[in-house]
Amino acid sequence: MENIDIFILTSIVATLFAVFIIAMWRELNAISKRPPDYSAESGPRADMIKFVGSIFDDKNIPKKEKKLIVKAMNRTISDMESDGIYFPSEVKEELERQREELNCEYSGLPSVKSYDISLINTNKTLITK
């Protein structure tokens, strides 16, 4: 009778495991019976794409303004400098360093680090200096 605590613990764990298996079986059966939910994406990137799409769907905005919006979205540092906006060399070096970290080297897509709030705040601080 010295191992009664092990028997009690084992029976509790085995019971919980059986309940877990039954619950998973029921949930998987329920998922297989209902159709998948294809809802719209959400988040900052999806909201930006929706916003830009709504601008170009709007018939009241002249084509000249639409071209200006596209140009503003595609501006690079060299374009800004040709327009008279100059950045210190330390900002350029920091952006070059972070560009390698923020994009996946294999796919070229944004990496996990690109969603880090502290890096975004660092960029804003560098630009405002």
Kindly give, in sequence order, each residue whose CB lies less than 8 Å from that of residue 129, ignoring residues fewer than 6 positions away: 88, 91
Domain spans, the chain: 41-74, 87-129
Reading the chain (129 residues) residue by residue, the pLDDT tens digits are 678 899 999 999 999 999 999 999 999 998 888 877 777 777 777 787 787 778 778 778 788 887 877 777 777 767 677 777 777 788 778 877 777 777 777 777 777 666 666 655 555 554 554
Say whether pTM exceeds 0.75: no
